[in-house]
Amino acid sequence: MTFSLVGMCRRTGMFGAAVTTSSMGVGSRCPYARAGVGAVLTQHRTDPQLGSRGLELLAADHSASQVIAALARDNPTIGWRQLAVIDRRGDTAYYHGDRIASIHAAAQGEAVCAIGNIIRHANIPPAMVEAFGRNPAEHLAERLLRALEAGLAAGGELKQVQSAALLVV
């Protein structure tokens, strides 16, 4: 019931995350970002500790894929989670837990990664990545917002969207 993305502006070095869902208060539990470090998304039975821990690992110069591996290692609840990470180099990684029964998908592009769960079809994250990359000279916040709009236009999630968040650092 959530679709989101992390992204980086190569021109300015800004990082951001944007998320939308049918549940309330998504901005307080899913997107995490730190200037000069990167961004993390945690969703589908969200565990906010994963966002904070992911940022600490990024600050210690772990790559996006190393962060995903560390967050998944020895975590008995990771099967319920979905994650996306972008590191200071603009490299991305994602994770889908094996207990996510709904349609879920991910797509990666140049300094962007989109993920979704309980979505109408698997083409939503690719539509978001395409929209994010369309105008790289635009402000990062605008690109993230356009990507969410593209995800909604591509079919979005199964329930009505009621909450969204946009975080740029």
Quick one: pLDDT at residue 161? Answer: 86
pLDDT, tens digit only, all 169 positions of the chain: 699 999 999 999 999 999 999 888 898 999 999 999 999 999 998 898 999 999 999 999 999 999 999 999 999 999 999 999 999 999 999 999 999 999 999 999 999 999 999 999 999 999 999 999 999 999 999 999 999 999 999 999 888 888 999 999 9
- pTM for the full model? 0.96
In sequence order, which residues have a C-beta less than 8 Å from that of residue 78 and are 6 or more positions away?
71, 72, 95, 97
3-state SS record for 77-107? CHHHCEEEEEECCCCEEEEECCCCCCCEEEE
**Rounded Cα gap, residues 23 and 4, in angstroms:** 13
